[in-house]
Amino acid sequence: MPYASRKSLAGEVGLQLVPGNGAATSEPPAVAFRDVAAGYGGRTVIGQGDGGIDWRVERGAFVGVAGPSGAGKTTLVRLLTGQAERHRGRVEVHGHDVARGGTRRIGYVPQLGTIDWDFPLTVEQTVLLGGTADSRPTPWFSRRERRHARALLDRLGIGDLARRHIRELSGGQQQRMFLARAMVRDSDVLLLDEPTSGVDLRTRLDILELLGDLNAEGLTVVLTTHDLNWVAAHLPRVAFLNGRIVAEGAPADVVTPGILEEAYGSRMRVVHADGRVVVTDEYGALDGTSEAPHPPALRDAAASVTP
């Protein structure tokens, strides 16, 4: 189900969704970057120069962070998990400074390509280990923890794979396992680093549906992606990053040739057709990162549009 329809459904059952940044609330945002610069070995890769990154994600938002390779997307995510070198500024999760243990409410789904799949772990063990970042009295897991992990795996549709070795999973199943791992700590902010990479179209849609359900239940979702058309078609909000936040807003407002050129440094065309926004390269071919299907009307429009 597309995200927009899902929100209507949530509305029908009385769920109060915050559709994205800008919603009025007196509570601190789910995520806040305040004048932040960060990088590696002393080299600043985001927030260079005088202007650090100022960015906030409101509670209940569902936002995709897009930008070219090397733009700092993973670094931005790592700042939220306390794994990146912060050169200045402050990063907060629900008003708590990440540098002072504020990562407790963050659930993180890493890029699948960064995982050592030969590590001798079962699916259930991987999920359980997601809950052990805080100090625990015993090195083993309680029955309650196991039940919780099993319930999450069941909910994500892979309960029957709990005893399998992690290497035996498909890409979509791996994503679900890491989602369960991210949720096992009762996180209310989910961070996903490129969940659309290396999985097929069906799996992308399944992941989107799952994330939409979790978001409808109140979780804040922030993901990074290279897939512009997937973001434009399905997410309510997108932020473009290239060392700094270039623009942020609803796809219809910020997926524009000018902003794309500023973020990516190259000319792209943007087609509006059938109520959707589609990015193509300068020859009119659909953005190569996307496998999203597009109706013939979009392709015709893509072929005829001028930049």
Ligand X SMILES: Nc1ncnc2c1ncn2[C@@H]1O[C@H](COP(=O)(O)OP(=O)(O)OP(=O)(O)O)[C@@H](O)[C@H]1O
Positions touching ligand X (CB under 6 A) are 40-41, 45, 67, 69-75
Beta carbon nearer to ligand X, 203 or 224? 224
Beta carbon nearer to ligand X, 47 or 251? 47
- CB of 199 vs ligand X, minimal distance in Å: 16
Phi, psi values for residue 90, rounded to 5°: -140, 140
For residue 182 the two structure tokens come to: 């991210």
Beta carbon nearer to ligand X, 40 or 119? 40
Containing 278, the helix (H) or strand (E) segment is strand 276-280
Paired sense of beta strands 189-193 and 106-109, if any:
parallel
Return contacts of 116-120, CB within 8 angstroms, 24+ apart.
117/166, 117/167, 118/167, 119/166, 120/165
Q: Give, in order, the Cα–Cα distances in Å from 278 to each of 178, 200, 229, 250, 274.
A: 30, 19, 6, 14, 10
- CB of 165 vs ligand X, minimal distance in Å: 27
Containing 221, the helix (H) or strand (E) segment is strand 220-225
With H, G, I as helix, E, B as strand and everything else as coil, classify residue 263: helix
- CB of 40 vs ligand X, minimal distance in Å: 3
Beta carbon nearer to ligand X, 65 or 152? 65
Return contacts of 155-161, CB within 8 angstroms, 24+ apart.
155/180, 156/180, 156/210, 158/123, 161/123
Beta carbon nearer to ligand X, 59 or 73? 73
Beta carbon nearer to ligand X, 3 or 240? 240
Q: Indicate the burial class of 149 (C-beta count within 10 angstroms; 0-12, 13-18, 19 or more).
A: buried
Beta carbon nearer to ligand X, 111 or 256? 111
Q: Give, in order, the Cα–Cα distances in Å from 230 to each of 36, 104, 204.
A: 28, 30, 9
- DSSP for 18-32, please give it: --STT---SSPPSEE
- CB of 265 vs ligand X, minimal distance in Å: 13
Beta carbon nearer to ligand X, 45 or 210? 45
- CB of 231 vs ligand X, minimal distance in Å: 14
- CB of 74 vs ligand X, minimal distance in Å: 3
Separation CA 200–CA 195 (nearest Å): 11
- CB of 69 vs ligand X, minimal distance in Å: 3
- CB of 275 vs ligand X, minimal distance in Å: 29
Beta carbon nearer to ligand X, 53 or 149? 53
- CB of 240 vs ligand X, minimal distance in Å: 11
With H, G, I as helix, E, B as strand and everything else as coil, classify residue 106: strand
Order of strands across the sheet with 106-109?
106-109, 189-193, 220-225, 62-66, 237-241, 245-249
| Gyration radius of the chain's alpha carbons | 20
